[in-house]
Amino acid sequence: MRLVTTDEMRAIDSRAIDGLGIPGLTLMESAGMGTVQFIESELGDPAGARIVIICGKGNNGGDGFVIARGLRDRGAEVGVYLLGKPGELAGDARTNYERLGPGSVSELLDEGGLADSLGEMVETELIIDAIFGTGFEGAPRGLHKDVIAAINASGRPVLAVDVPSGLNASTGVREGECVIASWTCTMALPKRGFYLHPGREAAGIVHVIDIGIPEDVITAIQPMRSVLTEEEASHLLPKRDPGGHKGTFGRIAVIAGSVGYTGAAALTSLAALRSGAGLVTLGIPGSLNDILEAKLTEVITRPLMETAERSLSVAALPGVKSLLDSADAMALGPGLSQNGETQELIRAIVSDLSLPCVIDADGLNALTPEDIGARQGDAPVVITPHPGEMARLCGWTMSDVLEKREEVAADVATRARATVILKGAASVVADASGEIYLNPTGNDGMASGGTGDVLTGIVAALLGRGMSALDAGVLGAYVHGRAGDIAACAVGRMALIAGELIDLLPDVYSELESGVYEG
């Protein structure tokens, strides 16, 4: 699904209203009633429920008035507060205020009014935030700031209409008080700021309301970014052939590991197996073979020539090529070391690449984007740098990488002729064609050693099933983060380790195969 900034959403609204003649009142009615339907699906029949709606003076408040009318029609006890005077309302917001009828809305004008509303907020079953819309920038001030603070302090579930008030919908920045929502019902398309930190924590669970904007209007604006939804991830997942065999589901070659880093090789190999690969063969420095044979029951190990430092040597190249001859995809880099001879081997492998490959860690440390881009042929490649590796790859500073993640990822994707997964919060997936995805899954519990190796194995398995580099990167990042989210619920973010991601991959794939998602 496409992601939009505030400017892109404003252009889409304008094209729908001014270009196609869709009345703003129609869009507002669809927004409000779509939110009511979502509330019914989350909370059940609202009849008898006590709900408080806080409305601003703009169109976001107008959405709130529509929601109030819809909930009252369904029997809910709704308290509606307006941050301002009715005479200050205009346009569609004023029309929907009037449709509620006399005496339906209480004015919230000062600290005394806020004190009067606090009791109702604490006792309500749901607070609906309809204060500021997507056009808000800066920090809430005065009474608006105090009301947002009171909403957050209430301890009640909060639903934000379109965007949590106080959040910059484009950047995810919170310059002051910001509503921390349990859910955000956003209109037409999800907003970029919901998938960037700290906006992600403010938005809660994001639900997109279809307000009737035609697809060709959205296409005409050409939003630059996308996000993979649960349903899209399900459709993207390769289907299993009931008559298949282990050769059908992808033969993966993993070139990884050195002394002290056998764990990286093991995690990558196991993640590939847990992601549906039929066969995984691990090329490892010869002296480490016994360790990996004992550690990896289901993985084939192949001892290769090594350096004095017990990393792979240039002399291992014929053995690597032999291994690749029977593979459908390769994972290259985890734990290989920065030994000069090993890095020479990596460059030799990449220059003559003939099969899909994911490159990570020490594989990236040996290369420039131009090295990857100069490979012979068009074998699909995915690279998975963390910000430090990306800074080296692109020649930018770490602060530039962190501040301009999408631009940096797109630049390197073009130079390397590859799909880039720039890991972080949130991970950015960029393709040389110009496609950019923000990954909606994952959490800070995954910031520990080995989790990147798991991602490498997942992506390698998807490449081995014949997926394009972009699809494998986008789905791989989604699956990896979703496993982390399930793990965070099971063991907490503090205690989460990489091996638990592998243990929970079956849960993720079961969700995607069944279309049933848990929390």
Kindly report, residue by residue over 269-304, the tens digit of the pLDDT.
999 999 999 999 999 999 999 999 999 999 999 999
Q: Select from 61, 19, 91 the least CA-distant residue to 161.
A: 61
What gap in Å lies between CA 183 and CA 185, rounded to an integer? 7
H or E element, residue 284: strand 279-285
Domain boundaries, given as residue ranges, for the chain:
2-227, 240-514
Tokens 């380790």 label which residue?
Answer: 497
For the domain made up of 240-514, the CATH class stated in words is alpha beta
Can you give the pLDDT at residue 518? Answer: 66
Q: What is the pLDDT at residue 121? A: 79
Q: What is the C-alpha R_g of the chain?
A: 26
Distance from C-alpha of 466 to C-alpha of 12, rounded to nearest angstrom: 36
Q: How far is C-alpha 43 from the chain's CA centre?
A: 26
pLDDT of residue 220: 93
pLDDT > 90: percent of the chain: 92
Superfamily of domain 2-227 in the CATH hierarchy:
YjeF N-terminal domain (3.40.50.10260)
For residues 312 and 303, give the distance between their C-alpha atoms in angstroms, rounded to a whole number: 10
Phi, psi of 333 (to 5 degrees): 130, -40
pTM exceeds 0.85, yes or no: yes
Q: Cα dist. 359→260, 372, 420 in Å?
A: 20, 10, 10
List, for the chain, all residue ranges whose pLDDT scores fall below the cut of 50: none
CA within 13 Å, CB half, 425: 12
Give the integer Cα–Cα distance in Å for 340 and 102: 79
- pLDDT at position 112, please? 76
Alpha-carbon torsion, ordered 506, 447, 478, 43, to 10 deg = 80
Residue 519: per-residue pLDDT = 59
